[in-house]
Chain A
């Protein structure tokens, strides 16, 4: 059995949230992902873990990198992968989320990877289908595989996660990446800080397990990891922050602010970046930037999640 390989393995039918994930489960996934990352660097990248299985990418919200990352992960595990860009299909014709789910369910997929603009939508969908469901981002709620790829990147670069100070900077209010990372990093024993203007901070972030800073220099002091978040353009023209210029001045990662972090601090960004808004161009290309490694680890982590889930699928 799988538990023989991983003493505390990941045994879940769905991956919907990082809230409640145990350290053992996370470590098991990261170990699997390390192996997948190794495999992805070989000439022959394909394994037959999901041979004969069907994976549907169901994206109600446009995505380039997450969707292609899942697609590649599924294909490297030999699954039959179908991409459904729902924003241009039946939903546009008025079909409800539940009806779309039931329709797809009737096609007997094994794994559904779902992104939706409304928080909780993926969980609702998971209640209605017979297959496994992976949350690829629901509103401002959760993006579990992003947090897992982030901790994998950290673990590979630093050799550990426990005891590190991680500063998550930017639009915390609207960020599912921030929420998933706060969960996972806390579980793994890191000290989490969030850094943002008050207008981009949700209420009681401290109770989620993060120290709150509205002054970026203070928030970056002695940080091991500086994790930048994307600020959407429509939020930086006077509603939440006055302008991109002011935002970059006070909350953009530049050399001066980065100097407050530890000399070996890693720079991370889930992408896509707005150069000159939340991150200076030269910082994005800095030697300590692991932004491209994050993309590589994205495929590995998604393979690990799919592989762990495959063991629980019917007829395994």
Chain B
């Protein structure tokens, strides 16, 4: 640095001695990064050891410095179910897990289907959340799958995508009109694909395990049927479509075929479906009761290959806080869902450590890809991008302890699991919102 450079303002932070990993470009090289004014001011090998005068220095000790995670599917309990999770507690869990942007789902009480409610979430997030909160608004009123919401006005109010939450739209005509209408606004439609009639009464994947456990199973075709219909609708409407959480090889084949036909179709998967399977349910463990249900090991392995190949675009936590009142029940009577904000990265890193997925494609599915889908400026290491960053020790071993988790509900399928890899620092817009060491001490 030349001496004539003005000394940086006090908000400058320098990450030194880092392994810079930018999933968007594929760059993975030693260097440093300077944050100023909440954005990435400079980065590269020349900053590896040199911090400008006055800057706060964070020594990365050779650990990975990469964009913060963008989690496209986070359920909270705010408004309406604050005893399960608030935007504040979810954001604290997010920060501890390296998630710098969380996209909250509209499945609340009331459903986020009106401009005033988008505004409410934005204000609550601004005042209480420590990470970025983006809103996926309902695409039908009350998530009932009948009347479309004010997609244009909701988008203007700040909704970054539209979804029917945990429910598929059964009425094909409604789905058609929503895709067609959303196209005029270039709005992304993220859809949970499970035929409501086919899964009615089912509590897990149909198959040998369900048969042994004596539980009603949902055939994975319930997922693929809706997905195939939707792809056909995308073809005739031109609407942007994202299958929120696919879980089986057949669905992946449908998405691949749609992409090869240049249709605006993408897909996501929860980290649970990449790292767990139906056998984990074992003796009726309700924390493994999810939607879509955990599938067979063959399907899980196919999905991992889909991530490695880049055919699956996004990995989400599908963080879904449920309290003991609804989870401590016989399996068939318990609620669906598992928390995951704090374990998303660590669980995903299992695929890296096993050699199944490279670090860059793995991180890309949690940073650059969701950023591109949602039109966010974050998710990449470039000058001018928001300083939403995480430092990750890929090798640090730890054991998940639900008591230590910051999420208000403790329904983690990874409780007591051994993990390798942990977020050391989380920065959002230039502010450090989580530090592993200090959290440890406290």
Contact = CB atoms under 8 A, between A and B. Distances in A.
A246 B153 CA distance: 6
B164 interface: no
Contacts of B183: 198
Contact of A242 (B147, B180, B237): B147
A238 B153 contact: no
A237 B152 contact: no
B177 interface: yes
A199 B181 contact: yes
Contacts of B177: 199, 239-240
B237 A198 contact: yes
Contacts of B147: 237-239, 242
A245 interface: yes
Interface residues of A, number: 16
B184 interface: yes
A238 B148 contact: yes
Majority DSSP secondary structure for residues of A touching B: loop
Contacts of A239: 147-148, 174, 177
B141 A241 contact: no
| B interface majority secondary structure | helix
A198, A237, A249 pick with most chain B CB within 10 angstroms: A198
Contacts, number: 45
Interface string A234-267: 0001111111011001100000000000000000
A214 B174 CA distance: 20
B152 A238 contact: no
A242 B184 contact: no
Contacts of B146: 238
B150 interface: yes
Interface in B143-166: 146-153
Contact of A238 (B141, B180, B184, B237): B141
A198 B180 contact: yes
B140 interface: yes
Contacts of A214: 184
A198 B181 CA distance: 6
B150 A245 contact: yes
A265 B174 CA distance: 37
A199 B151 CA distance: 13
A229 B152 CA distance: 21
Contacts of B174: 239
A197 interface: yes
A240 B149 CA distance: 11
A245 B116 CA distance: 14
13 contacts: A197-B184, A198-B183, A198-B184, A237-B147, A239-B147, A239-B177, A241-B181, A242-B150, A242-B152, A243-B150, A245-B150, A246-B150, A246-B151
